[in-house]
Chains A and B, each alone.
Chain A
Amino acid sequence: MMKKNHLPAKIFLFLFLLMFIFLPFIPLVLTSFSYNWIWPNVMPESFSLSAWDYVLFENSSTWQAIGVSLLIAFIVTAVNIILAVPAANAFVRYPLRGKWLFEAIIFAPIVIPPFVAVMGIHLTFLRIGLTETIFGVVLAHISPTLPYVVRAAITSYSTLSVDWENQARMLGAGPFSRFYHVVLPHLMPGIAAGASLSILISLSQYLITFIIGSGQVMTLPILLFPFISGGDPAIASSYSLLFAGMAIVALLILDLALKRYYKKKQAAAAIKGVRE
């Protein structure tokens, strides 16, 4: 399409893309380390760690909020995986009457904003006593996240040819054995992708956590919000970075866990191969 040497154009594009992604973070980082940043100084006049100090060390709610956020996210994701895998199995490998209806039901929360359902069910939760509890918030987080895990599992299942399982059957493997040794390893990457999305979405929820939690269940976004809607910019920036960082770290952990799982599997398989 283009002749070989458009190097200056390429460099320009490269920089453009980098700037597009990173430029917005510059004021965020600078503000978090600033003491006072008066207009029109392009850099803060004085730097200070006081905001970070407050966020990380002085305010005990910070770590509690992080803990609660992560706890909810992981529980929600675990539940999602348990629900999604059999469902995806059913969708991909079995004939279903009314498949379209089941698909519509499961994917509805992607189309209809989840807070609609949460506002609706709020008062019922209140009566049952689920509000202001982590359990209640977990329940509320399932709807927005489950469809993505199901979708990822479906994609994964559809690339798994039945031949693999048939092969295992011929070699004498029963259903659970087959699932554990053949199906699950194949599904892992797809499930990991879906799980990442699930964790991410759960971590960033504000409204539905606020409605059900009624301010008692303190996740990081809830803690963050008052600061970013008019509080101290330095603290707000620090919390924002922490929030973004938490999301990235959670995803990295998942990524690493998956890689280690694979390494172990490969090592185990290699050993088995040698022994046999």
Chain B
Amino acid sequence: MLRKIKPYLLLFPAIITIVLLFFGGLFDGFLKSLGYFPAIGETEFSLKAYSSLLQSDAFWDSLIVTIRIAALSAAISAILGAIVAVALFMIQETSKSRALNFWNRLFQLPLTIPHLVGGYVIVLLFMQSGFLSKILAAIGVIDQIPDFPVLVNDSFGWGIILTYAWKEAPFVALMVYPVLARIHKQWRDVSRVYGAKNRDFIREIVVPAILPAWTVAAFIVFVFTFSAFEVPFLLGVTYPSMLPVYSYQLYSSGTLVDRPEALAVNLVLALLTVLLGLIAYYFSKRWNVLKGWE
């Protein structure tokens, strides 16, 4: 008897913790978004928060902005990440494990530094009176501060996009690189024997091989950026703000009235991320990223 329930006992502490703290929080938030708040006497359920949410322009603008910024962040970090991975691969070609170790360590740096610092670094680089602006002025490309485009705290969201492009590119590179590394010399030999020049090899063999891993990585960046708070809070504008920031603005606006709406935004956010997460999971299983290339 003990043997049968043993695994469940082993799982119990972790599961109960997550259920209470995390799912409890989700459920709690959900109830409150429906207006159920016994502590202040509200015991009626109502969809008022949701209907007002769906009717508010602010919400839809926020959603659009969020999708746009997340998509661009994913796209740019994916491209940068691919370039970095290829660069790494080409360098690694003749050097052995020492070099690989060095680069692995080095690439952990952008991944290790906290997002807020990453955001600030971008601020210092890209603000109108920032480092890049100074360099451009020094070489004569611009004359005055306003000549440099607004890239930080801008309504399009470039500051956020740049931050995630820089910070997540190593992540994409680290997901793509192992696939590249497996396409070792033998595969090049085979394709050469059958007449493939370098160009053919890259087009026919390398690109299709890394496409699954690359797409999955880009998608993960998308989902992550979609639901992030810190960097958009630092580098975004008040309106329109990304969904998590929008939610926070509603939550902390001072009146209890807005809270259900904030929590409703959260629920929408949660549902969207679950949906996106399932899609990512499904595709990564299906494409089975590394198989067959040993």
Q: Which residues of B contact A24 (CB under 8 A)?
A: 121-122, 125, 166
A117-B13 contact given A9-B90, A27-B131, CB 8 Å threshold: no
Structural contact, A86 and B133, CB atoms closer than 8 A: no
Q: With A and B bound together, what is the CA distance between A153 and B94 in angstroms?
A: 34
Structural contact, A106 and B14, CB atoms closer than 8 A: yes
**How does the 8 Å CB contact mask read for A216-240 relative to B, with 1 for contact and 0 for none?**
0000010011001100010011001
Main DSSP-derived SS at the A contact region: helix
B1 at the interface (CB under 8 A from A): no
Binds A, one of B49-57, B207-215, B270-278, B284-292: B270-278
User: In the complex, which residue of chain A has the Cβ closest to the Cβ of B281?
Assistant: A111
B79 at the interface (CB under 8 A from A): no
Structural contact, A244 and B114, CB atoms closer than 8 A: yes
Q: With A and B bound together, what is the CA distance between A91 and B7 in angstroms?
A: 8
Report the minimum CB–CB distance from B265 to chain A (whole Å): 9
Structural contact, A21 and B91, CB atoms closer than 8 A: no
Q: Which residues of B contact A203 (CB under 8 A)?
A: 114
A10-B114 contact given A121-B24, A143-B22, CB 8 Å threshold: no
Q: Which chain B residues (56-97) contact chain A, with CB distance < 8 Å?
A: 80, 84, 87-88, 90-91, 93-94
Q: Which residues of A contact B248 (CB under 8 A)?
A: 115, 207
Q: Which residues of A contact B274 (CB under 8 A)?
A: 111-112
Report the minimum CB–CB distance from B137 to chain A (whole Å): 3
Structural contact, B22 and A109, CB atoms closer than 8 A: yes
Q: With A and B bound together, what is the CA distance between A109 and B134 in angstroms?
A: 42
Structural contact, A89 and B90, CB atoms closer than 8 A: no
Structural contact, A10 and B91, CB atoms closer than 8 A: yes
Structural contact, B29 and A117, CB atoms closer than 8 A: yes
Find B273's partner among A23, A113, A204 (CB 8 Å cutoff). Answer: A113
Q: With A and B bound together, what is the CA distance between A146 and B119 in angstroms?
A: 25
A28 at the interface (CB under 8 A from B): yes
Main DSSP-derived SS at the B contact region: helix
Interface residue count for A (Cβ, 8 Å)?
80
A96 at the interface (CB under 8 A from B): yes
B198 at the interface (CB under 8 A from A): yes
Report the minimum CB–CB distance from B219 to chain A (whole Å): 12
A21-B113 contact given A13-B87, A39-B134, A121-B24, CB 8 Å threshold: no
Find A120's partner among B30, B93, B170, B273 (CB 8 Å cutoff). Answer: B30
Q: With A and B bound together, what is the CA distance between A87 and B19 in angstroms?
A: 14
A200-B112 contact given A90-B8, A105-B23, A119-B29, CB 8 Å threshold: yes
A to B contact number (C-beta, < 8 Å): 232
B28 at the interface (CB under 8 A from A): yes
Report the minimum CB–CB distance from B192 to chain A (whole Å): 9
Structural contact, A117 and B6, CB atoms closer than 8 A: no
- Interface size, B (range): 35 or more
Find B17's partner among A9, A26, A95, A146 (CB 8 Å cutoff). Answer: A146
B135 at the interface (CB under 8 A from A): yes
Find A115's partner among B106, B117, B244 (CB 8 Å cutoff). Answer: B244
Find A127's partner among B39, B80, B87, B169 (CB 8 Å cutoff). Answer: B39
Find A109's partner among B18, B106, B138, B201 (CB 8 Å cutoff). Answer: B18
Q: Which chain B residues (135-194) contact chain A, with CB distance < 8 Å?
A: 135, 137-138, 145, 166, 169-170, 185, 188
Structural contact, B121 and A28, CB atoms closer than 8 A: yes
Find B28's partner among A41, A112, A120 (CB 8 Å cutoff). Answer: A120
Residue from the set B26, B80, B125, B263 with the largest chain A CB neighbour count within 10 Å = B26
**How does the 8 Å CB contact mask read for A130-159 relative to B, with 1 for contact and 0 for none?**
000000000110110010001000000000
A258 at the interface (CB under 8 A from B): no
Report the minimum CB–CB distance from A174 to chain B (whole Å): 16
Find B107's partner among A16, A21, A244 (CB 8 Å cutoff). Answer: A21
**How does the 8 Å CB contact mask read for B1-39 relative to A, with 1 for contact and 0 for none?**
000001110110111011101111111111010000101
User: In the complex, which residue of chain B has the Cβ closest to the Cβ of A39?
Assistant: B129
Find B116's partner among A18, A23, A127, A225 (CB 8 Å cutoff). Answer: A225
Structural contact, A87 and B124, CB atoms closer than 8 A: no
A1-B135 contact given A87-B15, A113-B227, A237-B124, CB 8 Å threshold: no
User: In the complex, which residue of chain A has the Cβ closest to the Cβ of B143?
Assistant: A40
Q: Which residues of B contact A119 (CB under 8 A)?
A: 25, 29, 247, 251, 262-263, 266
Structural contact, B21 and A121, CB atoms closer than 8 A: yes
Structural contact, B21 and A83, CB atoms closer than 8 A: no
Find A27's partner among B87, B106, B125, B269 (CB 8 Å cutoff). Answer: B125
Structural contact, B90 and A10, CB atoms closer than 8 A: yes
A25 at the interface (CB under 8 A from B): yes
User: A residues touching B (Cβ–Cβ < 8 Å)?
Assistant: 1-2, 4, 6, 9-10, 13-14, 16-18, 20-21, 23-28, 30-31, 39-42, 82-84, 86-87, 89-91, 94-96, 102, 105-106, 108-109, 111-121, 123-124, 127, 139-140, 142-143, 146, 150, 200, 203-204, 206-207, 221, 224-225, 228-229, 233, 236-237, 240, 243-244, 247-248, 251
